[in-house]
Chain A
Amino acid sequence: MKVIIMGCGRVGARFAGLLDGAGHAVTVLDTESYSFRRLPAGFKGKALVGNGIDEEVLKRAGIEQADVFVALTQGDNRNIMAAQIARHIFGVKRVICRIYDPLRQELYQNLGLDAISPTTIFADILMKKLES
């Protein structure tokens, strides 16, 4: 699979490493090249500096051939916008988007985005830990 990951933070870099290890073609996007230090040694994918809400940057990252697009920056709105560009402008089949704000996550899930809220998930895990 050809996967584009937007945002090379802890999650982005780790996920990129996992996919790369599993033999997928990965391109990681970040607005700062310094973020790429997080990528594991021996990472065979591409690392590209640029903003994922810019169509030109996405084209350079090869979005027209991508099977999967994952938005993992710190900004909910940036993730939402990039995910919608990937889906509605470039027609990427699988688009996943991180949204910290549970309310926004719910809204965009209803609008058809595959949106994950780490806030909800982590709070649930903590609750389960305490209850067990």
Chain B
Amino acid sequence: MYIIIIGGGRVGYYLAKALLDEGHEILILEKNTTVCDTVNDELGSICYRGDGCEASTLAQVGTGRADMLVAVTGEDEDNLVSCQVAKHKFKVPRTIARIRNPRNEVLFKKLGIDVTISSTNVILEQIAEEVPTHPLIHIHEIRDKGLEIVEVKIPQGAVTIGKALKDIVLPQGTLLTLIIRRAQRPVIPDAGTVLMADDQIIAVTDPTSEDALRKALRGG
């Protein structure tokens, strides 16, 4: 694939390095001469000096034939504009933007950016996993299907302990796929499976049903 990366800072640099190793054709657009020179010295001539928001610069690097554009500068507004120019002027099929402010995710999606990655949210998720009291953990997001895989822990004393799954009303479209029990092998749950304290339940659900799922399994 031909992938254009906007921004040759740390994120852009290591992203380029990893993608080059996978055999992709990579080009980095970077405004700063010094940063540009460093990348070229270390990774070979893959960095072009220029503004990734300018249509003329994007035309020079052949954005029209790019399969993907990833904007990873430190500024949300620059990443947004790069992706929008790539999408609307050059019809790049997939645009990905890094965002600093997690709240910008809604706007970027609305404006047609295919994928947004919020480093703040990624770190938050990691922290959440380390906090044992956290009721629901996001494991994986299946973006184009609007689904996600989550883990719900059944705490000691939950009112649902001892109940069979057939007596629990789950939100529409939610599937319990696996239960991991302390000192036991993982089990595939069926209607007769009875919930126990410290069960870790892996479920597929849609993001709007998260609260309902948590309530159904933990009783609040």
Q: Which A residues have a C-beta under 8 Å from some C-beta of B?
A: 53-56, 75-78, 80-81, 84-85, 88-89, 101, 103-104, 107, 110-111
Tell me whether B141 is interfacial, beta carbon within 8 Å.
Answer: no
Residue among B53, B77, B78, B88 with max Cβ neighbours from chain A (10 Å): B77
Instruction: Check A88/B107 contact, CB under 8 A, given A103-B56, A111-B84, A111-B88.
Output: yes
**Contacts A/B (CB < 8 Å), 19 sampled:** A54-B101, A55-B103, A76-B53, A77-B77, A77-B78, A81-B81, A84-B107, A84-B111, A88-B110, A89-B107, A101-B53, A101-B54, A103-B54, A103-B55, A103-B56, A107-B84, A107-B89, A110-B88, A111-B84
Q: Which B residues have a C-beta under 8 Å from some C-beta of A?
A: 53-56, 75-78, 80-81, 84-85, 88-89, 101, 103, 106-107, 110-111
Give the docked Cα–Cα distance between A88 and B55 (Å): 23
CB of B80 within 8 A of CB of A77, answer yes
Instruction: Across the A-B interface, give the 9 residue pairs with the lowest CB-CB distance, nearest first.
Output: A81-B77, A77-B77, A77-B81, A103-B55, A78-B77, A77-B78, A88-B110, A81-B80, A80-B81
Min CB gap B104→A, angstroms: 8
Interface of A is mostly: helix
Please indicate the chain A residues that have their CB under 8 angstroms from the CB of B78 in the complex: 77
Please indicate the chain A residues that have their CB under 8 angstroms from the CB of B54 in the complex: 101, 103-104
Please indicate the chain B residues that have their CB under 8 angstroms from the CB of A85 in the complex: 107
CB of B85 within 8 A of CB of A107, answer yes
